[in-house]
């Protein structure tokens, strides 16, 4: 079981939502309550939502009560230190790149997976009250099928044209080269980025496991969600691989068919799009959008 809370970055920074996630899980208060609402729960905070994975031993209603209860601010300093330790390791090239591009898009305060943002306990409590309620709640099963959503959602997502590429650029991070494509946020561009990310992974797996080019997949890629943009990143080796072994028609047709047959992929897209847009995704419309993709267009986009 999974719980999703629609949030937003505070001053273009995800630190507040990260801290709230820690306070929610860490505010159990007693050993009995720890095993009731915290043991085995995995929390994750992104720029637009936070999620909580519940193991079978945690009852949904107990966790919802914990999530919606006022935060225990007496543990705030402890959780701040835990986040500091969590983020004290080596920061990846992609995280540095995501933050660099984010600052160019959203201003100097942008931050993902950063530590040190100043906060007041009152502000944290207000942010928790603002988002941690029934109006921002989705409950999904382990395959991302939505089981509960806000009752006031009436509209459906409309999928527009797919031409929303903003820029394609090369960046240098600590001596390594990375190639990025930035897309404006639309439902169609999210579907496109998700599909491209999946397709690159499958292409790399096929090349390493079945063609026998090498033991490890030659593909390194990242798909990142900003508040109003999407980012695809590949490294230099992946760019060379995609250029030297372009996707052919047969591979594309079979891969797209398998994607459309895999309900967990469609359900994850539907869940995240509903969280981001506040509108319901009709699976028929989603499949129609994916089915409209042509191999020529995909080849063009995979040329970084």
Query: Rounded distance, CA 198 to CA 196, Å?
Result: 5
DSSP 158: -
For the chain, the structural domain boundaries read 2-148, 165-298
221, two tokens: 């890629």
pLDDT at 142: 96
Q: What angle do CA 290, 294, 299 make, to 5 degrees?
A: 115
At 148 the pLDDT is: 96
Q: Are 266 and 284 in contact (CB under 8 A)?
A: no
User: Nearest Cα to 105, choosing from 194, 19, 180?
Assistant: 180
CATH class as words, domain 2-148 = alpha beta
**Residue ranges of the chain with per-residue pLDDT less than 70:** 113-117, 161-165, 209-217
Can you tell me the distance from the alpha carbon of 106 to that of 46, in angstroms, rounded to the nearest whole number? 16
Closest alpha carbon to 72 in 41, 115, 37: 37
CA dist., res. 83 & res. 17, Å (int): 12
CB atoms within 10 A of CB 191: 22
**What does the pLDDT look like over 262-273, one tens digit per residue?**
999 999 999 999
Pairwise CA distance, residues 115 & 201, whole Å:
31
Question: Which pLDDT score is estimated for 216?
Answer: 60
- State the residue for tokens 């720029």: 47
Q: Whose CA is closest to 221, among 232, 213, 231, 230?
A: 232
Q: Residue 230 pairs with which residues in a beta bridge?
A: 183, 225
Q: Are 1 and 141 within 8 A, CB to CB?
A: yes
Q: How far is CA 262 from CA 143, 192, 198, 268, 276, in A?
A: 10, 16, 12, 10, 22
Please report the pLDDT score of residue 214 as a whole number: 56
User: Does the predicted TM-score (pTM) go above 0.75?
Assistant: yes
């Amino acid at each position: 079981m999974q719980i999703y809370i629609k949030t937003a970055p505070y001053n273009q920074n995800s630190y507040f939502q990260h801290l709230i996630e820690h306070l929610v899980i860490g505010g159990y208060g007693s050993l009995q309550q720890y095993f009731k609402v915290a043991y085995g729960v995995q929390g994750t905070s992104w720029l637009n939502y936070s999620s909580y994975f519940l193991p079978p031993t945690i009852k949904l209603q107990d966790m919802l009560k914990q999530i919606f209860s006022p935060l225990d601010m007496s543990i705030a300093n402890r959780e701040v230190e835990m986040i500091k330790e969590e983020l004290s390791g080596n920061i990846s090239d992609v995280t540095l790149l995501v933050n660099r591009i984010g600052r160019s898009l959203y201003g100097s305060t942008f931050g993902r997976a950063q530590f040190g943002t100043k906060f007041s306990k009152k502000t944290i409590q207000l942010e928790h009250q603002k988002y941690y309620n029934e109006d921002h709640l989705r409950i999904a099963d382990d395959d991302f099928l939505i089981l509960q959503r806000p009752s006031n959602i009436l509209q459906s997502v409309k999928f527009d044209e797919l031409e929303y590429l903003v820029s394609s650029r090369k960046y240098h991070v600590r001596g390594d080269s990375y190639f990025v494509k930035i897309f404006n946020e639309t439902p169609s561009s999210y579907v496109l980025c998700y599909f491209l990310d999946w397709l690159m992974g499958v292409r790399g797996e096929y090349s390493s496991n079945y063609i026998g080019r090498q033991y490890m997949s030659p593909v390194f890629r990242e798909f990142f969600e900003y508040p109003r943009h999407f980012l695809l990143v590949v490294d230099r080796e992946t760019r060379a691989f995609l250029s030297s072994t372009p996707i052919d028609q047969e591979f594309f047709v079979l891969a797209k068919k398998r994607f459309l047959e895999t309900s967990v992929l469609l359900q994850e897209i539907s869940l995240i799009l509903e969280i981001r847009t506040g509108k319901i995704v009709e699976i028929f419309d989603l499949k129609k959008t994916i089915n409209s993709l042509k191999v020529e267009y995909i080849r063009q986009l995979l040329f970084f």
